[in-house]
Amino acid sequence: MKKALVIGSGVAGLAVALRLRRKNYHVEVFESNSYVGGKIHNLEIDGYRFDTGPSLFTLPELVDELFSLFGELHSDFFTYQKKDRICNYFWEDGTRFSALADRDEFVKQASQTFHVDPEELENYLNRAREKYDLTSHIFLEKSLHKVSSYFSLDVLKSLLNMWKLDINTSLHAYNDSSFDDPRLVQFFDRFATYNGSSPYKTPGIMSMIPHLEMDLGTYLPKGGMQSISQSLYDFAVKQGVKFHTSTSVTEILTKGSDVSGIVAGGQQIEGDIVISNSDVFSSYTNLLKDKLPPKKIINQERSSSAIIFYWGIRKEFPELDLHNIFFSHKYKEEFKAIFEDQTLIDDPTVYVNITSKQEQNDAPKGCENWFVMINAPGNFGQDWDQMIVESRKNIIDKLSRILKIDLENLIECEEILEPRTIESKTSSHRGSLYGASSNSKFAAFLRHPNFTSKIKGLYFCGGSVHPGGGIPLSLLSAKIVASLIPEES
């Protein structure tokens, strides 16, 4: 039986381990942290439980599929609930809007709030769905770097309809031409942040992202987001995958042009296949030091990072839900600061995630667990200590003003995650959340492939390579890698 070695146990590492185990490989996973899951982890403080990483769950069927590969029902290991309310939005002018999962209700309420013809909203959402349908088979589900991927009717259809994808205009310009109300433009601009990009730079094709939420749905797993990684880990162990936690990989070994194994925990471990779920920049700079990296690819602009405050709040807020957005009134300045000036403005857009709205044990009775995040630049050696102090004050002032409360006095406990610690804990270069940014119409083609033609048997998965960052795309990267590896007899 051939051996596959997986570096990193992020969600893509867990998924590729299961897929290769199903292909009859002996699979071992090496994780430098004491826990599995990468960015999808858990934090408990003074009776509060927080998901530390991704908070939005879409396309759950990509997780379900990993159980069904082995003839098992996902519901025996992993369950989730679809949300009726996608997100609550707040503007400084007092506007409040709840985006409902029911499309008809969303269109009805959005048309009233933003004074837009319902037909215009329907047309926008229909175009979003069409863009997704035209591109998902080639851009998301296949390797862009294999010639064979381009010989299919799906690809031909996509190429013939390229003019519908709005790749030659920015997402903001596309939204601005679609709607008159600046609040509605800002509402749809926000979807650029789903891949850590700027709506003023990322192409208009990203207008397909609302389709994921509004047509396909948003979900929360029972037990919180960390149950995604935990259930996959437990299931992988059941299937015979071997895990080595607190074990750092320091080198990928090669013999000629073939991969031969890794050095982990100070020992050489032979393997027929190696899959790196580590950030591709770190994979080359730290694990393949004697190999010439593809500099143009690994040095491209990185996605945004984040500053996250985990706050235990001794009060309940009925006007808030699982997902909540408090918009900046300086939106263009905010993204300029992040991507051009590597700094923060005094009025950032604030995201508040509260899992205790659904998982009551995540906070003491009468309290809520707030995951409070702002988009931030990558780590370029800024004075983060000072920036965090200023950001904390600006966030508290903003939320207190909009919610008409004294938030500072409601905070019972606090932990902070910021670009430096994101970088150190997850090996994400500069603390980026999604690998490379998508601030270019060529970004999809510039992401590192899921393999390298220079080293046979070496593959890459996770948010820093094709097809991109976030849970669904990371899971798809694992699926693509597995499709490139022959089944072991």
Q: Where is the domain boundary, 171, 201, 216?
A: 216
172 and 128 in a single domain? The answer is yes
In a domain, 114, yes or no: no
pLDDT for the residue numbered 278: 95
Find the domain containing 345 and state its range: 42-101+304-433
pLDDT of 159 strictly over 80? no
- What is the total count of domains within the chain? 3
What confidence tens digit (pLDDT) does each residue in 268-315 have? 999 999 999 999 999 999 999 888 778 777 778 899 999 999 999 999
pLDDT for the residue numbered 438: 84
Q: Which amino acid is at 306?
A: A
268 and 323 in a single domain? The answer is no
pLDDT for the residue numbered 77: 95
Q: Where is the domain boundary, 433, 453, 475?
A: 433
In a domain, 257, yes or no: yes
In a domain, 287, yes or no: yes
* Higher pLDDT, residue 250 or 163: 250
- The model's confidence at residue 444, banded by pLDDT at 50, 70 and 90, is low
What confidence tens digit (pLDDT) does each residue in 46-91 have? 999 999 999 999 999 999 999 999 999 999 999 999 999 999 999 9
Q: Please give the Cα distance from 25 to 2 (Å, whole number).
A: 5
pLDDT for the residue numbered 298: 74
In a domain, 384, yes or no: yes
90 and 138 in a single domain? The answer is no
312 and 419 in a single domain? The answer is yes
- The model's confidence at residue 161, banded by pLDDT at 50, 70 and 90, is low
pLDDT for the residue numbered 139: 65
pLDDT of 489 strictly over 80? no
Question: Contact 31/55 with Cβ under 8 angstroms?
Answer: no
In a domain, 111, yes or no: no
**Average pLDDT of the residues of the chain:** 93
Helices (H) and strands (E) in the chain, counts: 16, 19
238 phi/psi in degrees, rounded to 5 = -60, -35
The mean pLDDT value for 261-265 works out to 97
> Which CATH number characterizes residue 135's domain?
1.10.405
Q: Percentage of residues in the chain with pLDDT exceeding 90? A: 83
In a domain, 128, yes or no: yes
What confidence tens digit (pLDDT) does each residue in 416-425 have? 999 999 999 9
205 and 287 in a single domain? The answer is no
pLDDT for the residue numbered 11: 98
The mean pLDDT value for 348-360 works out to 97
Strand residue runs (E) in 48-100: 48-51, 80-82, 85-90, 96-100
- The model's confidence at residue 158, banded by pLDDT at 50, 70 and 90, is low
- The model's confidence at residue 160, banded by pLDDT at 50, 70 and 90, is low
Q: Please give the Cα distance from 381 to 90 (Å, whole number).
A: 33
364 and 480 in a single domain? The answer is no
Question: Contact 226/61 with Cβ under 8 angstroms?
Answer: no
In a domain, 233, yes or no: no
358 and 478 in a single domain? The answer is no
pLDDT of 366 strictly over 80? yes
> Which CATH number characterizes residue 447's domain?
3.50.50.60
CB burial string 374-384: b at 16+ within 10 A, e below:
bbbbbbeebeb
pLDDT for the residue numbered 146: 54
Q: Please give the Cα distance from 309 to 394 (Å, whole number).
A: 13
Inter-axis angle of helices 118-135 and 103-113, to 10 degrees? 130
In a domain, 70, yes or no: yes
pLDDT for the residue numbered 156: 57
Q: Across 148-162, 408-422, 458-472, which has the greatest mean pLDDT?
A: 408-422
Pick the range with the lowest mean pLDDT from 9-18, 154-163, 176-185, 392-401: 154-163
The mean pLDDT value for 250-255 works out to 96
